[in-house]
């Protein structure tokens, strides 16, 4: 790519979730295993699986070959037809999804999967309101951004929103939203949902990430999701599990809800369903929900639903997760990664907390450990101000390791194929980069 080519891209393309000025991206030319390479030939350890999507690493031969075969056979058919690829992935899904999720609508993103789930829930129940959580992200389109408790919702609400969302507290024990009201809260964050449903009425569904993704890899206490399931079932409220980021072995189970023993009414997923190689998403529902449309018009669809090339890649990816034993590997390697991060927490005054499940971890930075005061705020993120987490991530990138910074924490989510040596390399790079954050810790707090 020439300098002119780069200038054309920078001058003409939108780039997501940031101010457009000052964008100076790397040019990435190839990837292999857990690493990717820029145009200058420099290799980077992908310690974030890009956007927590490249679960199989880069350049998995089986997934690429499946997509290539389908391209040679027939690259596109309308969704009203069936193909061998559609049959293959339907069979595979039946073997890995949580029990009871037996009917599938295919999309091209997690956002679209959540749009479909919300529409199905509202149509079947005849209700309008949806319960979501204060620290969550479910997508960028109208309905999905409306149920996102994320700083990105604010700038979009004035032009793009669907009314009817109620935001419940998270199971965020590090900064418990109910600590002042319930000093020994147990799972008051879950119990708070029942009076919301009773008071509001007209609640169709509750949508949850089993482990909060971008907004902090927040792992709930074991009893939280089962309590949510009990409450929603008692009130006839559908439970939607957003597994766009937490599915496909990321948490050491095929799907996050399975790690907590919960069966939702609807499950949405994307990203790792093809290892990030092609844009496939999925909305999976129970038979009861599908039957509601047996003799009733289903008012949803799009041109690329059940695209055969995407489905072929998805079926192949499921086979690769099995062949490589990546579900168990992620669980075991996740324990190792978390222990390495806990060692950093003991040695760096800027690390307030580390947490995670499987190969989805977060390092929460704090200006003051005692008060848990963050270095930066969500408003500063949206305003484009310099963030300490971003400076740490930039230092790691300069050291050849890519991670995801967000407001005042870092997301660490390497491909499931990552080796122990690569985990050590990533953590060692973080160890060095944290000196930047340590230098900005309140001296009084650091001394205490």
**pLDDT above 90: residue 112:** yes
Model confidence pLDDT, tens digit, residues 322-352: 999 999 999 999 999 999 999 999 999 999 9
Q: How many Cβ atoms sit within 10 Å of the Cβ of residue 390?
A: 16
- For helices 420-438 and 388-398, what crossing angle results, to 10°? 130
Q: What pLDDT is stored for residue 98 in this prediction?
A: 97
Q: What pLDDT is stored for residue 155 in this prediction?
A: 83
Residue whose pair of structure tokens reads 């620290």 in the numeric block? 135
Model confidence pLDDT, tens digit, residues 377-414: 999 998 889 999 999 999 999 999 999 999 999 999 99
Joined tokens for residue 428 = 């060692």
Residue whose pair of structure tokens reads 């990664």 in the numeric block? 337
Q: What pLDDT is stored for residue 154 in this prediction?
A: 83
For the chain, give the percent of residues with pLDDT over 70: 97
Better-predicted residue by pLDDT, 171 or 447: 171
Q: What pLDDT is stored for residue 178 in this prediction?
A: 80
Burial of 347 (0-12, 13-18, 19+ CB in 10 A): exposed
Model confidence pLDDT, tens digit, residues 285-318: 999 999 999 999 999 999 999 999 999 999 999 9
| Per-residue burial over 50-62, b = 16 or more CB atoms within 10 Å of its CB, e = otherwise | bbbbbbbbbebeb
Q: What pLDDT is stored for residue 41 in this prediction?
A: 97
User: CATH for 61-323, among 3.40.640.10, 3.40.190.10, 2.40.420.20, 3.30.1130.10?
Assistant: 3.40.640.10
pLDDT band at 1 (very low <50, low <70, confident <90, very high): confident
CATH 3.90.1150.10 given to domain 3-56+325-447:
yes
Going from N- to C-terminal start, the domains of the chain cover 3-56+325-447, 61-323
Burial of 4 (0-12, 13-18, 19+ CB in 10 A): exposed
**pLDDT above 70: residue 184:** no
Most confidently modeled range among 7-16, 117-126, 146-155: 117-126
Q: How many Cβ atoms sit within 10 Å of the Cβ of residue 93?
A: 20
**What's the pTM?**
0.95
Q: What pLDDT is stored for residue 444 in this prediction?
A: 65
* Rg of the chain over all Cα atoms, to the nearest angstrom: 22
Mean pLDDT of the chain: 95
pLDDT band at 182 (very low <50, low <70, confident <90, very high): low
String of DSSP letters for 103-163: EEEEESSHHHHHHHHHHHHHHHH---EEEEESS----SSHHHHHT--STTHHHHHTTS--S
Q: What pLDDT is stored for residue 126 in this prediction?
A: 97
Pair 46, 404: CB distance under 8 Å? no
Joined tokens for residue 23 = 């964008």
Pair 331, 358: CB distance under 8 Å? yes
Q: In 3D, which of 140, 67, 45, 127 has the Cα closest to residue 397? A: 45
Model confidence pLDDT, tens digit, residues 236-252: 999 999 999 999 999 99
**pLDDT above 60: residue 183:** no
Q: What pLDDT is stored for residue 61 in this prediction?
A: 98
**pLDDT above 90: residue 445:** no
Looking at residues 13-19, what average pLDDT do you find?
92
Query: How far apart are alpha carbons 400 and 426 in whole angstroms?
Result: 9
**pLDDT above 80: residue 157:** no
């Amino acid at each position: 790519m020439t300098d002119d080519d780069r200038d054309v891209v920078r001058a003409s393309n939108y780039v997501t979730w940031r101010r457009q000025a000052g964008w100076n991206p790397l040019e990435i030319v190839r990837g292999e295993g857990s690493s990717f390479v820029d145009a200058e030939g420099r290799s980077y350890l992908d310690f974030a699986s890009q956007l927590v999507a490249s679960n199989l690493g880069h350049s998995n031969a089986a997934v690429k070959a499946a997509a290539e075969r389908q391209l040679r056979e027939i690259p596109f058919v309308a969704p009203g037809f069936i193909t061998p690829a559609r049959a293959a992935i339907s069979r595979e899904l039946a073997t890995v999804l949580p029990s009871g999720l037996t009917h599938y609508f295919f999309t091209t993103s997690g956002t679209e999967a959540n749009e479909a789930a919300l529409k199905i829930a509202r149509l079947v129940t005849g209700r309008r309101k949806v319960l979501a959580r204060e620290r969550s992200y479910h997508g960028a389109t109208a309905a999905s951004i409306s149920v996102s408790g994320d700083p990105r919702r604010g700038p979009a609400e004035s032009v793009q929103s669907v009314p009817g969302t109620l935001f419940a507290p998270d199971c965020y024990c590090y900064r418990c939203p109910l600590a002042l009201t319930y000093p020994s809260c147990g799972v008051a964050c879950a119990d708070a949902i029942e009076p919301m449903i009773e008071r509001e009425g007209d609640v169709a569904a509750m949508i949850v990430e089993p482990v909060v993704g971008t907004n902090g890899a927040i792992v709930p206490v074991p009893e939280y999701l089962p309590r949510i399931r009990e409450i929603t079932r008692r009130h006839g409220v559908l439970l939607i599990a957003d597994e766009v980021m937490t599915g496909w072995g990321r948490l050491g189970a095929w799907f996050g809800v399975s790690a907590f023993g919960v069966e939702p009414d609807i499950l949405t997923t994307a990203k790792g369903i093809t290892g990030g190689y092609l844009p496939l998403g999925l909305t999976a529902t129970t038979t009861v929900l599908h039957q509601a449309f047996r003799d009733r018009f289903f008012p949803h669809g799009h041109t690329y639903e059940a695209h055969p090339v995407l489905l072929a890649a998805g079926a192949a990816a499921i086979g690769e997760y099995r062949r490589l034993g990546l579900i168990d590997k992620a669980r075991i390697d996740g324990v190792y990664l978390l222990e390495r991060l806990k060692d950093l927490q003991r040695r760096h005054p800027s690390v307030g907390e580390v947490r995670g499940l499987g190969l989805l971890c977060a390092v929460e930075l704090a200006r003051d450990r005692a008060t848990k005061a963050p270095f930066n705020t969500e408003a500063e993120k949206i305003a484009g101000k310099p963030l300490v987490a971003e400076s740490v991530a930039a230092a790691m990138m300069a050291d050849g390791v890519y991670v995801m910074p967000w407001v005042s924490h870092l997301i660490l989510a390497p491909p499931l194929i990552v080796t122990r040596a690569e985990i050590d390399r990533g953590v060692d790079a973080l160890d060095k980069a944290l000196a930047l954050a340590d230098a900005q810790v309140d001296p009084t707090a650091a001394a205490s």
